[in-house]
Structure 1
Amino acid sequence: MKKIFGIVGLVAISSVQAQFKISVEVPAAFAPKEVYLYTLNGSKDILSTKEMRKGNTWQLSYPRSYQGMMKLYFPENGTSLNFISENKDVKLKFDTNKNKISKIEYLDESNALMNNLQDIQQKKEYILPALFQIKEYYKDGQSFGKSLEEEIQRLSADNGDLSKFPFVQYYQTNYKRFLEKSTTKKPLTHEEIIQFLVNSDEKLESSSLLRPILVAYLNIGPNTNLTNDVDKLLAQVNTETPRGQTILSELIEIFDTYDMQELKTKYLTEAKNLKCTINQRLSGTIAANVNTEVGAKFPDYKFNHATNTAAKSIYDLNAEKKIILFWSSTCSHCEAELPKIIEKYNQIKGQKAEVIAFSLDQDKEAYENKVKSLPWVNDTELRGWYSSFVDVYNVHATPTYFVLDSNNKIIAKPDHVADLLKFLNLN
């Protein structure tokens, strides 16, 4: 009996040990002390764990089997880096320049290979066509001509045997098949993409390929009846399955991002009307949209370090109307639209209304320099698109506007500053 218990004990211990480990070496001058580890589900980064730095290294453990894209995010300075997992230990190091990541060295075999292949892929798409043209002006015997030929052969070569690296092989094969830019490729068909989405294994969700392949699907043909194309796709992938629901969620967000509101409304309604169990991805998409529909009560948000107010939250601020604005100092559309709000701000205040602006900046200095000229309530988490309010308020682009009444119910969702000013009778 003691031996049996001993074996059971060993099994229990091994079950909680890491499936693989991630080691990150950084320069002593790199300021951040904390790192977040994310996996990927379609186009969504999923927080897996957080870890504090020890000396000049981070050691992170991932407890489950995983093949796919991963990300390290350093919230203290808003930087991140991507890598892959082949369900094996990952090791990397990087240099910095002004506290930003400047050079990454992938020290494990899988990531070194993936990084090299992606470098070749990028050059193949954007540089190789130009090299063929330049080569016509040089004779083969010239030294530069020989170098050109060598580079052309290197970029044109096959990837070789990738069978030891299942995720790398999956990514490279399907990127080339569905997304690579090439004038010699046979045009994709709807059926070809549907069969891939139906039959692919779980690496589809973890590969970052899902959304761009869906966009490729939507761009096939003249798009004279996009609804029929989407209906056909959803029928085949089956929205009562986790794969089908993830694809439905991605499509709703694509339609939202590209301002295709009729399609977004149609398929969001279909999602709400599903009678089966809904997976976490689709339920999150539904909830974010329900929270931000006209007539819904806007979820409250507690300010971090808000300027131009003593209020502690959106609800704590008293106004007959509240104009919620999501923006960024790096957003060119914001640069064009915010001055128009500044110009009308006194009139907005005259309506007993207030502007509450949330920045998706990551750079503290850039944010602080910008808000000096913004007379309304400003707040930020300095986490960019990792800010908590991005998902809560279904923000897909900047600027994004909401208008609330005195009870914090959404009464308008203007697309642009002109629509906002028209709603307020200030145009």
Structure 2
Amino acid sequence: MKKIYTLSAVLAAVVLQAQFTVAIQAPADFKDQDAILYTLSGSKDIVVTKEQSKNNTWTFKYPKAYMGMMKVYFPSSNNTVSFISENKNVSIKLDVQNNKVKDVAYLDEANELMSKQQEGSQKKELILPALSQIKEYYKDNTDFGQALKTEIARLSGTSTSMDAAKHPFISFYNTNYSKFLSNTSDATKKVNQDEIIDFLDKSNDLLESSSLLRPVLVAYLNSGGNTNVAGSVDKILDRLKVETPRGQTVLSELIDIFDVYQMDELKNKYLTLAKNLKCTINDRLASTLKSNANVEMGATFPNTKFQSATNTTVKSLHDVKADKKVVVFWSSTCSHCESELPKLLEKYNDLKAKNIQIVGLSLDVDKASYTSRIAAFPWINDSELRGWNSSYVDAYNVHATPTYFILDANNKIISKPEHVGDVLEYFKAK
């Protein structure tokens, strides 16, 4: 892990060298003023700071050393621009059309190199297999056959040469993505669980900021099959030790993975393990514990201020007065929502007659799509129009749509139905 320097002069020099800037340029017709800078911890975006545009440029100063994935989010237009930092200045220029980012030009060396290598890797994984199949139907002595042969040779070659010492993060990402996550039919190149555990145990801090942690953990769980998932998890946690920051971050990621895939028994087992830890807990695990505590049975459902709620004049969720409330997180782009919410609509008048209020909190992005859909919903509707960047996601531990909660008159959680049928069954409204 990180070395601790004891000499104050050395520490001061490191701090001065570590500061870098992220500069994002946009054309004059880009309307956003605010932008938010994020770093990464495992699979969780961490807010760093918020800046306003000055002459269509956002400049973020990062005060300490950081290598890894970053992103800038523009909340007004819901644009996101992802990039990397190698603890050096980042410079990006946006091409915008109708206030949406159409293209991104990476002007600094590290991001330009990473972009080219990512493009090459995508072509190698997606296009090369198709070209190899097509080539079977064309002879080498034809112009097209020769062109295919040339392109296959080019894509099959090694990636752009790179100095690993000069670009440590790119080297770390590419090497380990290729080893643990790239698709390969060659059984000799497939890694086993022990190799993955060794990688997770011995990697430096770049692992948490690389975006590789969660997909590698999913690959680890898949490599062990479905017969003894708990045994696989216990094996990795025993090696990493849950008292360590790395062990706690992995534990947090595993809890979230089990939540996403609705593996409730495993989620509850390892969430209980996390709750019972007596050591100091790192921020990543603390955020998982808080999100889950917010939505435990019997907990007071966290309040949220409405942005521009329809069918009500109240200002927040807790201001909604009813004997019971059904809170549903949904989206106009969610196919399950499209099939489930009409069933809720059919029984709306029956529920309303029992003083049961429905509150729909949308994870939509497109305002037109959201507005069109809620025209049919007579209950309270609201949305931040930030999709999965919405504050709802962390506050209410939302991993999928639709997600339902039933609250009593005091906003305590009294049921967490899995489907609309469970909601209607709870109120005997089927």
Question: TM-score, normalised on structure 1?
Answer: 0.94
Deviates more, 1:13-22 or 1:66-75: 13-22
CA deviation vs aligned residue, 1:114-170 (integer Å, no higher than 9, x gap): 111111211212221111111122222322222212221222112233412111111
Number of the residue aligned with 2:5: none
| Secondary structure in 2 matching 1:127 | helix
Q: Deviations over 1:189-247 (max 9, x none)?
A: 11111010000000100000000000001101332111111111111111001111010
2:355 corresponds to 1:364? no
Partner SS for 1:91: strand
Q: How many residues align?
A: 419
Q: 1:14: Cα distance to partner? A: 9.4
Q: Cα offset for 1:12?
A: 7.2
d(CA) in 2 for partners of 1:342, 1:48: 41
Q: Secondary structure at the match of 1:256?
A: helix
Q: Distance in 2 between matches of 1:44 and 1:221?
A: 25
Counterpart AA for 1:99? N
Shift of 1:15: 4.8
Alignment-derived partner of residue 47 in structure 2: 47
1:178 aligns with 2:180: yes
Distance (whole Å) between structure 2 residues aligned to residue 289 and residue 253 of structure 1: 10
Deviation (angstroms), 1:187 = 2.7
Q: Percent identity?
A: 56
Q: Deviations over 1:304-326 (max 9, x none)?
A: 22111122222211111100111
Q: 1:130 to 1:309 in 2, by over 3 A?
A: same
Aligned to 1:341: 344
Contact 2:86 2:169 in 1 (8 A): yes
The answer to whether residue 392 in structure 2 is matched with residue 401 in structure 1 is no
Q: State the Cα distance separating 1:81 from its structure 2 match.
A: 1.1
Aligned-partner Cα distance in 1 for 2:85–2:17: 17
Write the distance in 2 (CA, Å) between the matches of 1:16 and 1:366: 48
TM-superposed CA distance for 1:98, in Å, is: 1.6
Assess, with a 3 A threshold, how the Cα gap between structure 1 residues 171 and 12 changes in structure 2: closer, same or farther: closer
Cα RMSD of the aligned pairs, angstroms, is: 1.8
Q: How do 1:191-340 and structure 2 match up within 5 A?
A: 191-340=194-343
Structure 1 residue runs of 5 or longer lacking an equivalent are: 1-7
Separation in 2, partners of 1:121, 1:422: 50
CA separation in 2, counterparts of 1:89 and 1:129?
37
Question: Who is 2:143 aligned against?
Answer: 143
Distance in 1, matches of 2:18 and 2:239, equals 37
SS of 2:102's equivalent in the other structure is: strand
| Inter-CA distance 179–17: structure 2 relative to 1 (3 Å threshold) | closer
The one-letter code of the counterpart of 1:259 is Q
Partner of 2:65, secondary structure, is: coil
State the Cα distance separating 1:402 from its structure 2 match. 0.3
CA contact (8 A) 1:125 1:182 kept: no
- Distance in 2, Cα, partners of 1:54 & 1:13: 30
Amino acid at match of 1:423: Y
CA contact (8 A) 2:15 2:64 kept: no
Which stretches in structure 2 are left out of the alignment for 5+ residues? 1-7
Q: Is the 8 A contact 1:293 1:410 kept in 2?
A: yes
2:109 and 2:246 mapped to 1: Cα distance?
Answer: 31
Moved beyond 6 Å, runs of 4+: 11-14
Q: Are 1:62 and 2:62 an aligned pair?
A: yes
8 Å CA contact retained: 1:17, 1:63: no
1:169 maps to: 171
Give distance in 2, aligned partners of 1:84 and 1:147: 35
CA distance in 2, matches of 1:420, 1:120: 49
User: Take 1:372 and 1:241, find their aligned partners in 2: how far apart are those partners?
Assistant: 51
- Counterpart in the other structure of 1:123: 123
- Identify if the C-alpha distance between structure 1 residues 132 and 78 changes in structure 2 by more than 3 Å, giving closer, same or farther: same
The answer to whether the 8 Å contact 2:184/2:190 transfers is no
Letter in 1 for 2:145: G
Q: What SS does structure 2 have at the residue aligned with 1:81?
A: strand
Distance 2:225 2:329 in 1: 34
Question: For residues 18 and 198 of structure 1, do their structure 2 counterparts lie closer, same or farther at Cα, with a shift above 3 Å needed?
Answer: closer
Deviations 1:338-358 (A, max 9, x none): 111111111111221000111
